Amino acid sequence: MKLTAEIEGQSYALDVRRVGARVEATVDGRRYELEARETEPGAFLLLTAGGGRVYECRANGATTAAGGAREVQIGDEVFQVRLIDPRRLGGARGAGAEASGRAQVAASMPGKVVRVLVEVGAQVEAGDGLVVVEAMKMQNELKSPKGGAVVEVRAEAGATVNAGDVLVVVE
């Protein structure tokens, strides 16, 4: 699973894969192999490959006020961690979504517009579906990154789109 992790104001590219009891993770190009054991809900022991080091990790399930970040404690250190799944946002955050102002929702890869779910003037909430794009025989619903009014719809059902094409603008 490819994610972006924001920790203490810095972004990291994160690719995590579970293989049995092991976790394979790549963080900004550096590869890690760990064994993860849940000792109680929200508490884990992380053992590095070969048993070199052991880390105790506690993850608070509730989000904090810091933009949906979760509190994660590793040893004595506490971090505010926010995980972003680019597939869930449908490319909207990467295309300039802001809490206030204009958010441009763009196609994350080339494909064909299957359905347009909104029209100009529609009021949407964060997470509402805007457009469905088919790419590589899979349909992906692009969602609004913020609440507001749809001010532009540049997509048409049946149209072919390229990666980065702005399909809807929410203000």
What are 12-21's pLDDT values in tens digits? 888 888 887 7
Q: Of 28-32, 80-84, 119-123, 136-140, which one has max mean pLDDT? A: 119-123
Write out pLDDT tens, residues 120-147.
999 998 888 899 998 877 888 888 888 8
Q: Name the pTM for this structure.
A: 0.46
User: What CATH number is given for 88-170 in this structure?
Assistant: 2.40.50.100
Average pLDDT of the chain is: 81
Give start-end residues of each CATH 2.40.50.100 domain in the chain. Answer: 88-170
The answer, yes or no, to whether residue 37 has pLDDT greater than 50, is: yes
Higher pLDDT: 22 or 155? It is 155
CATH 3.30.700.30 segments of the chain = 2-84
152-160 contact pairs (CB < 8 A, 24+):
152/120, 153/116, 153/118, 153/119, 153/120, 155/113, 155/116, 155/131, 156/113, 156/116, 157/113, 157/114, 157/115, 157/116, 158/112, 158/113, 159/112, 159/113, 160/110, 160/111, 160/112, 160/113
Q: Is the domain 2-84 a CATH 3.40.50.720 member?
A: no
